[in-house]
Amino acid sequence: MKKTYSLLLVILIFLGLFCLSNNYHASAHAGSYGFAKITAEGDTVYITLLIDSLSISEFPDVDTNHDEIVDQNELKSTYDKVIRSYIEKGLVVKNNGRVLPMSHVGQSVPQQSMIQIDLLFKDVSKIGTVSISYDLFFERSENKHTNVATFETLDGKSFEYIFSNDKKVWTGTFGKAAGFFDTAGQFIQLGLEHILTGYDHMLFLIALLLVKIKFRSMAAVVTSFTLAHSITLILAALDIVSLESRFVEATIALTIVYVALENLWSRAHGHRWALTFAFGLIHGFGFAGVLQEIGLPKNHELTALLSFNLGVELGQLLIVVCIYPLLKKVGNSRWWPRAVQIGSILVGLAGAYWFVTRVFT
């Protein structure tokens, strides 16, 4: 039975890495994502969509030079033929129950990795209770697409709502900003999704936990990682300390390689809490990247920051809770040392691949 568990764990790790390798065109953090700015004035709702260029390039005949980046000419020549109908079908705005007609104001490439689409929805009467149905890019990303929408209220404040496959519809007014609990819930979910879809962070934790250590040592490892990445996440998100993202992502990949190699050459792991603290400082900058991209809500900065961090911690805890019982069960198996070797080699290869792609692309 223990042999079966050992082989099962190795197979699961291998399958996970195989799936990642099939998604070679994206980094460990990359996926289909977007942002939106939504405002209302008088009888009109304005929506500016920002969608990652890779998601747009996957439409047929858009990326004519096949470089996975959509430039202004490609966007202009294919928007009306390919993209317009898709946006009109997947984005619906209602005012007091009435569906509003969509007008395409403009399309641009504000930066290499993003496509901007400006839309307006005009009614015959003043904007009241608005319902926005967002059903874009989910089916094209295995339902992992998210869009972080910033709503500008009539009193000059702002709040965020995260459109996802589970939350495709927002309904409300533009008269007031979201409250504490709405903001906290949204950013807890964002943090949870970020750690569970950040495959490099997950593999780092898995590599740390592969070796046989006592529960107290494991708790020390997880706690030190939490403290370390919380420090740099807060400092980076508040723009107190900043590092170039390419350097951060490449260094995160190296931390994975180092831990995997240590699993192979070392038998003493009592120092892992200190090692994890040092590496956790780097991972914190990686966690902060998403917050730096979308920005913190002006009226709930601290709430959003702490809630995001809480979401990350919940995701980490979920990983440990799922893995630790299995590791404890197979830890005394005579097959387990070989399983650790194979698993560490696969994890190390994944880290090396990410390092090379992040440095040279």
- State residue 155's pLDDT score: 66
- 350 and 203 fall within a common domain: yes
Q: Is the domain of 20 the same as that of 95? A: no
Asked if 108 and 123 sit in the same domain, the reply is yes
Q: How far apart, in whole angstroms, are the C-alpha atoms of residue 145 and residue 139?
A: 9
Domain co-membership, 114 together with 65: yes
Residues 235 and 152 in one domain: no
Q: Which two tokens stand for residue 94?
A: 């209602």
Judge whether residue 52 has pLDDT over 50: yes
Our count of domains for the chain comes to 2
180-206, pLDDT tens digit by residue? Answer: 787 788 788 888 888 888 888 888 888
Q: Do strands 146-152 and 33-41 pair parallel, antiparallel, or not at all (unpaired)?
A: parallel
Question: Measured between alpha carbons, how far is residue 292 from residues 30, 193, 239 in Å?
Answer: 15, 16, 8
- What domain range includes position 89? 33-178
Q: Which of 178, 208, 238 is the last residue of a domain?
A: 178
Q: What is the reported pLDDT for 323?
A: 82
Residues in contact with 47: Cβ distance below 8 Å, sequence separation at least 6, in sequence order: 36, 37, 38, 91, 93, 118, 119, 120, 121, 132
Same domain as 340, residue 206: yes
In a domain, 191, yes or no: no
The 10s digit of each residue's pLDDT in 62-105 is 888 888 788 898 899 999 988 999 999 999 999 988 899 999 99
Start-to-end CA distance of the chain, whole Å, equals 45
State the pLDDT at residue 184.
Answer: 85
Distance between CA atoms of residues 325 and 186, nearest Å = 30
Chain segment 248-294, per-residue pLDDT in tens: 999 999 999 999 998 888 776 667 888 889 999 999 998 887 777 66
Q: Are residues 218 and 314 in the same domain?
A: yes
Q: Which residues, including other chains, have CB under 8 Å from residue 247's CB and lie 6 or more apart?
A: none
